[in-house]
């Protein structure tokens, strides 16, 4: 799904959760940030290549909006890092490992981690075999579930329509948050 929708869905979840639990604004903001973050690291090799190598800003933009099979050609090493970083941030195996380590060490981070999990959970169903299926079981396999690509026009429209209704409902039912 696109980063704006990821942020809006996580935001809605946080608003709802704050009605029940005490979640400080800083933690709430971090949770939304964590819902957006998984779509950033894989662009770093491309940006690096455009700044220090032969790439250009146009290629970065093309990469960010790429359609599978039509990704602009980049050197093999850039492709390798970009692909694997994308897999790492979209893998439930990696997220599970990080979550278990944090569970024992810094439990305050558990709420922001839910932002990351929301990103993976949403992406699994909103990417298709033809459109970057989410590699949820990486590093065991790069294969993913064949869902509905989020950029399918009717789905994109429906998603933002449901988001608008969700925020309207949140607004109409607003109460004082606990924190
Ligand atoms: Zn994603």
Q: What's the structural domain count of the chain? A: 1
Q: Which residue has the tokens 């694997």?
A: 84
Give per-residue pLDDT as tens, 112-163: 999 999 999 999 999 998 888 999 999 999 889 999 999 899 999 999 999 9
Decide if 177 is inside a domain.
no
Q: 112 alpha carbon to ligand 1 midpoint, in Å?
A: 16
Q: 115 alpha carbon to ligand 1 midpoint, in Å?
A: 12
Decide if 167 is inside a domain.
yes
Q: 50 alpha carbon to ligand 1 midpoint, in Å?
A: 22
Decide if 19 is inside a domain.
yes
Q: What whole-number distance in Å separates Cα of residue 90 and Cα of residue 161? A: 26
Decide if 179 is inside a domain.
no
Angle (CA) 83-125-20 rounded to 5° is 110
The pTM score is 0.88
Q: 39 alpha carbon to ligand 1 midpoint, in Å?
A: 5
Decide if 30 is inside a domain.
yes
Q: 172 alpha carbon to ligand 1 midpoint, in Å?
A: 30
Domain that holds residue 120: 3-172
Decide if 178 is inside a domain.
no
Report the chain (179 residues): mean pLDDT per 10 consecutive residues.
Answer: 96 95 94 97 90 79 70 83 94 96 85 96 93 92 91 95 97 75
């Amino acid at each position: 799904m696109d980063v704006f929708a990821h942020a809006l869905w996580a935001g809605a979840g946080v608003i709802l959760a704050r009605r029940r639990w005490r979640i400080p604004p800083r933690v709430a903001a971090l949770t939304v940030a964590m819902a957006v973050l998984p779509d950033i690291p894989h662009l770093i090799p491309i940006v690096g290549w455009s700044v220090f190598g032969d790439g250009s800003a146009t290629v970065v933009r093309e990469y960010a909006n790429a359609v599978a099979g039509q990704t602009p050609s980049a050197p093999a090493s850039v492709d390798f890092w970009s692909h694997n970083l994308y897999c790492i941030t979209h893998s439930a195996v990696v997220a599970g490992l990080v979550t278990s380590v944090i569970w024992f060490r810094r439990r305050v981070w558990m709420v922001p981690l839910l932002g990351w999990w929301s990103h993976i959970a949403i992406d699994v169903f909103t990417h298709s075999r033809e459109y970057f299926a989410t590699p949820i079981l990486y590093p065991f396999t790069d294969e993913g579930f064949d869902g509905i690509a989020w950029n399918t026009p009717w789905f994109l429209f429906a998603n933002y329509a449901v988001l608008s209704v969700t925020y309207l409902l949140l607004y109409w039912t607003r109460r004082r948050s606990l924190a």
